[in-house]
C-alpha cells in the first residue's frame, strides 16, 4: 500500500509508533498490543492500541510479516521514527566523546592511526559496522616540499601533506640539465633544486597542491626548464590526488553480522563482499562534497541491493568549513537510531575539531 508520508500522526499514534519501534529493536520479534501494554506506560486500553496499530499498518508504517503475527516497522516507519519521533541521545554523545578523548592521542599519531582508532571506538560503542573514509587528499594542504636529485636527469619530488603523510613522484628533467657527468653541473643542479624547494614550500605551505597554477614563477631565480618540468609534475600529482578514492576504514563486521537479519547465507555473503571489495560503490553513499552534514539511508532507500536490509548513517568531518571525509555506521534497519545518530555526529564533530587544529607550520 502506498505510504502517505505527509500525514501527521496524532500524539497517541506517535506514542504507539515510538513504542513499537523500540520494542522491535530490543527483541527482534514482531510486536503485539499486549507486549506494548506490558512494557510501556501508554495509558490506553488494549483495544485502543490494536486500533492504532491497525491504522499505522494501513498507512504503511507497520506491517505483519505473516498472518496472526505481531507487527514490524517498515522502512517508511523507520523513516518516520527518525524524522519525527526521536532526538539524538545526549548521554550517548557524551559517552563517545569521552572515549575518543581518553583513547585518541592525536598529537602523536598519524591521521590514519587516529581514524582507525576512532572507527574501532565507534564500532564498539554502537555495536554496528563503523565506516570511516580517509581524508580527500586534494583537500589536505602542504606542510613541506623537497626536491632531491636522483641522477643527472631525474629528481624525486616529495610533498608532506598536513600530518597525513608524504606523497612522492620521480620527475624527469629535460636533457642537457647537466654535462657529461660533471661534478660542477650536479652541484649547480643541487643548488637550483634547493632554491626551488624553498620557493615551493614558502608558496604552497598551508595551501592545496591544486593551487600550483596560481604561483608567480617570475619570483624564483633558477633555470626555466626546471620550472616548467617541476610545475607540470606538481600539477600531475595534484590531479592524481583528485581522482575518486575508495579508502574506507571498516571495523565491527563480525559483531553486526551475528544479528538475526543476516542469518540468510546469500545475503550475508553479498554484504561481506560489498564491504571487502565494493568500497568504490560505498564511497558516494558515505561522502560527497555537497552532501548535508548528516545522511541517513534506510532499507530500500539504499541504491545498493546488498544494503537494502540495512541502515547507513553518516556525517562529514571537516577542516574548518572544508569537508575532508566522512564517518558512518551501518547495521540492520532494526537499529537504535537515537543512539547511533548521536554516536556518528559526536565522532564527526570530534574529528573535525582535530582536523581544524592541525598546524601545517609545525
Residue ranges of domains in the chain, CATH in brackets: 11-85 (1.10.10.10), 90-136+245-358 (3.30.450.40), 138-242 (3.30.390.60)
Q: Is 215 helix (H, G, I), strand (E, B) or coil?
A: coil
Strands 62-63 and 310-319: unpaired
Give me the half-sphere count of Cα atoms (radius 13 Å) on the Cβ side of residue 180. Answer: 0
Q: Sorting pLDDT into bands at 50, 70 and 90, what band is 268?
A: confident
Contact 160, 144 (CB under 8 A): yes
Question: Mean pLDDT across the stretch 123-151?
Answer: 82
Q: Residue 267's Cα: distance from chain center in Å?
A: 24
Q: Give the pLDDT score at 210.
A: 63
How many distinct helices (H) and strands (E) make up the chain?
Answer: 12, 10
Exposed e or buried b per residue across 347-359, where buried means at least 16 C-beta atoms within 10 angstroms of its C-beta? bbbbbbebbeebe
Rounded Cα distance, 123 and 329, in Å? 8
Check residues 142 and 80 and name the one with the higher pLDDT.
Answer: 80
Q: Count Cβ atoms below 10 Å from residue 275 Cβ, excluding itself.
A: 20
Q: State residue 361's pLDDT score.
A: 46
Q: Is the pLDDT of residue 164 over 90?
A: no
The more confident residue out of 319 and 19 is 19
Name 41's Cβ contacts closer than 8 Å, sequence gap at least 6. Answer: none
| Alpha carbon distance, N-terminus to C-terminus of the chain | 61
For residues 298 and 340, what is the distance between their CA atoms, to the nearest angstrom?
13
76 CB-near residues (< 8 Å, 6+ apart):
3, 5, 60, 61
Residue 229's pLDDT is 66
Q: What span, in angstroms and rounded, lies between the C-alpha atoms of 312 and 340?
A: 10
**Single pTM value for the model:** 0.77
Amino acid at each position: 500500500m502506498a505510504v502517505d508520508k505527509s500525514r501527521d500522526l496524532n500524539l497517541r499514534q506517535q506514542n504507539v509508533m515510538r513504542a513499537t519501534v523500540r520494542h522491535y529493536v530490543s527483541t527482534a520479534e514482531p510486536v503485539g498490543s499486549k507486549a506494548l501494554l506490558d512494557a510501556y506506560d501508554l495509558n490506553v486500553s488494549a483495544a485502543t492500541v490494536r486500533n492504532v496499530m491497525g491504522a499505522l499498518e494501513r498507512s504503511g508504517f507497520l506491517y505483519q510479516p505473516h498472518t496472526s503475527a505481531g507487527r514490524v516497522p517498515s522502512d517508511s516507519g523507520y523513516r518516520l521514527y527518525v524524522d519525527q519521533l526521536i532526538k539524538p541521545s545526549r548521554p550517548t554523545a557524551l559517552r563517545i566523546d569521552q572515549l575518543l578523548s581518553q583513547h585518541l592521542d592525536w598529537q602523536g599519531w598519524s591521521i590514519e592511526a587516529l581514524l582507525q582508532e576512532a572507527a574501532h571506538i565507534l564500532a564498539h560503542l554502537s555495536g554496528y559496522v563503523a565506516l570511516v573514509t580517509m581524508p580527500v587528499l586534494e583537500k589536505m594542504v602542504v606542510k613541506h616540499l623537497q626536491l632531491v636529485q636522483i641522477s643527472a636527469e631525474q629528481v624525486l619530488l616529495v610533498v608532506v601533506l598536513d600530518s597525513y603523510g608524504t606523497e612522492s613522484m620521480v620527475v624527469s628533467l629535460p636533457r642537457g640539465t647537466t654535462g657529461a657527468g660533471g661534478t660542477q653541473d650536479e652541484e649547480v643542479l643541487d643548488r637550483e633544486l634547493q632554491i626551488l624547494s624553498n620557493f615551493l614550500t614558502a608558496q604552497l605551505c598551508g595551501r592545496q597542491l591544486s593551487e600550483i597554477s596560481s604561483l608567480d614563477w617570475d619570483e624564483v631565480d633558477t633555470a626555466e626548464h626546471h620550472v616548467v618540468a617541476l610545475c607540470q609534475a606538481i600539477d600531475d600529482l595534484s590531479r592524481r590526488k583528485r581522482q575518486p578514492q575508495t579508502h574506507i576504514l571498516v571495523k565491527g563486521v563480525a559483531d553486526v553480522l551475528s544479528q538475526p537479519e543476516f542469518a540468510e547465507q546469500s545475503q550475508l555473503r553479498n554484504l561481506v563482499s560489498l564491504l571487502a571489495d565494493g568500497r568504490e560503490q560505498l564511497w558516494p553513499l558515505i561522502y560527497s562534497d555537497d552532501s548535508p552534514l548528516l545522511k541517513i539511508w534506510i532499507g530500500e532507500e539504499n541504491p545498493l541491493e546488498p544494503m537494502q536490509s540495512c541502515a547507513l548513517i553518516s556525517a562529514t568531518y571537516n577542516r574548518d568549513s572544508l569537508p575532508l571525509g566522512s564517518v558512518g555506521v551501518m547495521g540492520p534497519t532494526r537499529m537504535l537510531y537515537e543512539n547511533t545518530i548521536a554516536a556518528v555526529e559526536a565522532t564527526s564533530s570530534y574529528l573535525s575539531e582535530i582536523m581544524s587544529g592541525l598546524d601545517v607550520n609545525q
